[in-house]
Amino acid sequence: MAQVAVMSPNGEVKKIDRDSEDSLNALRQVAALMLKAALVHKYDGIRFGDAIAEDDRFWVDSDKDDQQVSADELPALEDDLKKLAKEDDKVEFAEVALDDALKGVEKDQFSSELLKENAKDGKVALYKLGDVAVIAKAPILVYTDAVKNFKLLSVAGAYWKGMSSNPMLQRIYGTVFYKKADLDEDLKKRQEARERDHRVIGNQLDLFFVDPKVGAGLPYWMPKGATIRRTIERYIIDREVADGYEHVYTPVLMNVDAYKTSGHWAHYRDDMFPPMDMGDGEMLELRPMNCPSHIQIYKHHIRSYRDLPLRIAELGMMHRYEKSGALSGLQRVREMTLNDGHTFVALDQIRDEFAKILKLIMSVYKDFDITDYSFRLSLRDPKNTKKYYANDEMWEKSQKLLKAAMDDLHLDYYEAEGEAAFYGPKLDIQTKTALGNDETMSTIQLDFMLPDRFGLTYMGKDGKEHMPVMIHRGVVGTMERFVAYLTEIYKGAFPTWLAPEQVHIIPVSDDKHGAYADQLAKEMKAAKIRVVVDHRNEKMGYKIREAQTQKVPYTLVVGDDEMKNNSVSVRKYGEQDQNSMSKQDFMDEILHDIATYSRKD
């Protein structure tokens, strides 16, 4: 097996297998250094942030006094990289005095800051390629001639250190492989990712937008996106109410003391927004979790064993502080609405309630045609118990109960130590995204801690007070992430029951057939079908193509024959043929399509 020379951040060089993941990461790291070198030689006075390999790509952050690097300049930069690769230079390691290193970047505040942050004992470790250097943080390939099969992917803005209060830099992304076939496969996957990217589709279909100028990570739902979200919300509320849940509304603000009691303040403070001082000693916090709110609902009345299981649910808005650099469309936001629920049960009700919740989740998955998922039993890490609620007896009991419940249902699952919530173990249902990545969609969490901390009780059959067990559960996660997931799974072609516009009616002549089209639309709206009549003065072919571009499930064309026969000419999304149907037959078909959640079975 072929080997390559890789240098560690301490300057040590060793040979490793070229086909290993470590080797590929080292190749990406040297590509980042070479890209920085190409930028240095091409643009006078350019300044630099990080130049690193990350996940499945490499990138370089830079800043110029004049216009930033544009996507049109990437081909020329690729040519420069090819020339550097042909020169087959060698990366050198150097441990330089910080003062000397700073002299070379006097006019570059970003590089200066990086050097200071990474200095130890007055020295900084560098990888050098000629007169260009990067900080030695990760292993790097020693020779540059391996950088042959690469592609500079894109340019984007990136806040310095991921903070919106810092200057915006220019980030250039690239990918590189040892083999051309691997590069081609990677580019194919990236193209598929672009076509499924919910941010791209959201813009094309006008579903939502995020404007950092008015609030990074705070989505604005446009009418079409709001329709999709509202349809999901109505669906999930109806399902939960039918399953015995009582839906509530609770405030997005709560006294910070509640989060100190719950443990969120101690464990998640860095992910919470700063408290608001109301000026009278009261400190209010934007809630990062809904559980303390639902606990207050429980505590508002004296509870009896007859009340249990008590199921409380809410589409609860939450706020979490995410760094600007981590924000991404609807997947990583600062304001989110969680499909949240909490059940308060007696100890002997846990298994039955667990099975009931799981049955609800599986039924919802069927309606959304979610089939690729696995079960992960998330447990406490026995080697690192400091980050968890300190009660060994509770953990042993709750973990045994969850395992027993899964075994009762004869479900295959795998155990993941260290993935539990700080207050208890949980079952995570891991779904596959459109691009094959694992993502937690649903969760069922067992909690003995919060009932204890908040002093929750119920009066038992024996006339004595007992503590309930709390089950946290989320069926489809947050509305934001779920819509992003569905957008990418469906590639924007939402099934009829979810589509923001279900029917697009095009009159052949607006003067002659517009009134008939409007009458059709009126009848459909009365049947709660989402329909639009296209009265624009455009050619019919253009209107049909646009309806297909907007991925409307049904496009109807109406002219003389349709008016005469009280019929419609139907074209389904993705199909070329048009079929003539009576108005009633079409109404029956689309209403059946909606009622069955567009399932084939």
Alpha carbon dihedral 245, 251, 257, 260, in 10-degree steps, equals 50
Q: Is 199 within the bounds of a domain?
A: no
Q: Which carries the bigger pLDDT value, residue 400 or residue 561? A: 561
- Considering the domain architecture, whether residues 170 and 221 belong to the same structural domain is answered as no
Query: pLDDT of 106-149, one tens digit each?
Result: 888 999 999 999 999 899 999 999 889 999 999 999 999 999 99
Choose one of 473, 489, 505: the last residue of a domain.
489
465, 304 contact by CB (below 8 A): no
Query: pLDDT of 47-104, one tens digit each?
Result: 999 988 988 899 999 998 887 888 889 999 999 999 988 887 899 999 999 999 898 8
559-585 mean pLDDT? 92
HEC sequence for 531-592: EEECCCCCCHHHHHHHHHHCCCCEEEEECHHHHHHCEEEEEECCCCCCEEEEHHHHHHHHHH
| Residue 40: CATH number of its domain | 3.30.980.10
Q: Is 197 within the bounds of a domain?
A: no
| Distance (Å, whole) CA 347 – CA 464 | 15
The reported pLDDT for the residue numbered 194 is 87
Choose one of 489, 523, 554: the last residue of a domain.
489
- Considering the domain architecture, whether residues 574 and 463 belong to the same structural domain is answered as no
- Considering the domain architecture, whether residues 277 and 394 belong to the same structural domain is answered as yes
Q: Is 188 within the bounds of a domain?
A: no
Give phi and psi for 516, each to the nearest 5.
-65, -40
Query: pLDDT of 97-106, one tens digit each?
Result: 999 989 888 8
- Considering the domain architecture, whether residues 136 and 254 belong to the same structural domain is answered as no
Domain count, the chain: 3
The reported pLDDT for the residue numbered 547 is 93
| Distance (Å, whole) CA 168 – CA 239 | 45
pLDDT of 558 > 80? The answer is yes
pLDDT of 166 > 90? The answer is no
Residues annotated within the binding site for Zn(2+) are 291, 342, 472
pLDDT of 1 > 70? The answer is no
Give phi and psi for 352, each to the nearest 5.
-65, -40
What does 193-232 look like in DSSP terms, one character per residue? HHHH-HHHHHHHTT-EE--HHHHTT--EE-HHHHHHHHHH
Give just the sign of the alpha carbon dihedral 295, 300, 302, 308: negative
Quick one: which H or E segment has residue 63? strand 57-63
- Considering the domain architecture, whether residues 292 and 395 belong to the same structural domain is answered as yes
Choose one of 154, 183, 212: the last residue of a domain.
183
Q: Is 12 within the bounds of a domain?
A: yes
| Residue 557: CATH number of its domain | 3.40.50.800
The reported pLDDT for the residue numbered 212 is 84
Q: Is 191 within the bounds of a domain?
A: no
The residue to which tokens 């992960």 are assigned: 376
- Considering the domain architecture, whether residues 399 and 448 belong to the same structural domain is answered as yes
| Distance (Å, whole) CA 470 – CA 370 | 27
- Considering the domain architecture, whether residues 301 and 402 belong to the same structural domain is answered as yes
pLDDT of 306 > 90? The answer is yes
Q: Is 193 within the bounds of a domain?
A: no
| Distance (Å, whole) CA 540 – CA 570 | 14
Q: Are strands 373-379 and 414-417 parallel, antiparallel or unpaired?
A: parallel
pLDDT band of residue 389 (cuts 50, 70, 90) is low
pLDDT band of residue 437 (cuts 50, 70, 90) is confident
Q: Is 105 within the bounds of a domain?
A: yes
Burial 36-63 (b: 16+ CB within 10 A, else e): bbbbbeebeebbbbbbbbeeebbbbbbb
pLDDT band of residue 408 (cuts 50, 70, 90) is confident
Amino acid of residue 496:
T
| Residue 285: CATH number of its domain | 3.30.930.10
259-285 mean pLDDT? 89
Q: Which carries the bigger pLDDT value, residue 404 or residue 460? A: 460
Residues annotated within the binding site are 291, 342, 472
pLDDT of 447 > 80? The answer is yes
pLDDT of 235 > 90? The answer is yes
HEC sequence for 377-446: EEECCCCCCCCCCCCHHHHHHHHHHHHHHHHHCCCCCEEEECCCECCECEEEEEEECCCCCEEEEEEEEE
pLDDT of 385 > 70? The answer is no
Alpha carbon dihedral 303, 305, 311, 317, in 10-degree steps, equals 30
Instruction: For the sheet with 426-432, list strands across it.
Output: 246-247, 310-319, 335-345, 469-478, 438-447, 426-432, 373-379, 414-417
Q: Which domain holds residue 558?
A: 496-596
Helix-strand-coil split of the chain, %, nearest 5: 40, 30, 30
- Considering the domain architecture, whether residues 303 and 389 belong to the same structural domain is answered as yes
530-551 mean pLDDT? 93
112, 89 contact by CB (below 8 A): no
pLDDT of 38 > 90? The answer is yes
Quote the mean pLDDT of the chain: 91
Residue closest to 155 by CA, chosen among 48, 81, 73: 73
- Considering the domain architecture, whether residues 449 and 301 belong to the same structural domain is answered as yes
The residue to which tokens 């200095």 are assigned: 119
Query: ∠ CA 51-57-59 to the nearest 5 degrees?
Result: 25
Q: Is 601 within the bounds of a domain?
A: no
Query: pLDDT of 450-501, one tens digit each?
Result: 999 999 999 999 999 999 999 999 999 999 999 999 999 999 999 999 999 9
17-23 mean pLDDT? 91
The reported pLDDT for the residue numbered 409 is 82
- Considering the domain architecture, whether residues 457 and 419 belong to the same structural domain is answered as yes
- Considering the domain architecture, whether residues 231 and 138 belong to the same structural domain is answered as no
| Distance (Å, whole) CA 491 – CA 573 | 13
Which residues are CB-contacts of 475 (< 8 A; sequence separation ≥ 6)?
236, 240, 339, 341, 360, 361, 364, 442
376-399 mean pLDDT? 74
Amino acid of residue 122:
G
Rounded to two decimals, the pTM is 0.83
| Distance (Å, whole) CA 250 – CA 315 | 9
- Considering the domain architecture, whether residues 172 and 221 belong to the same structural domain is answered as no
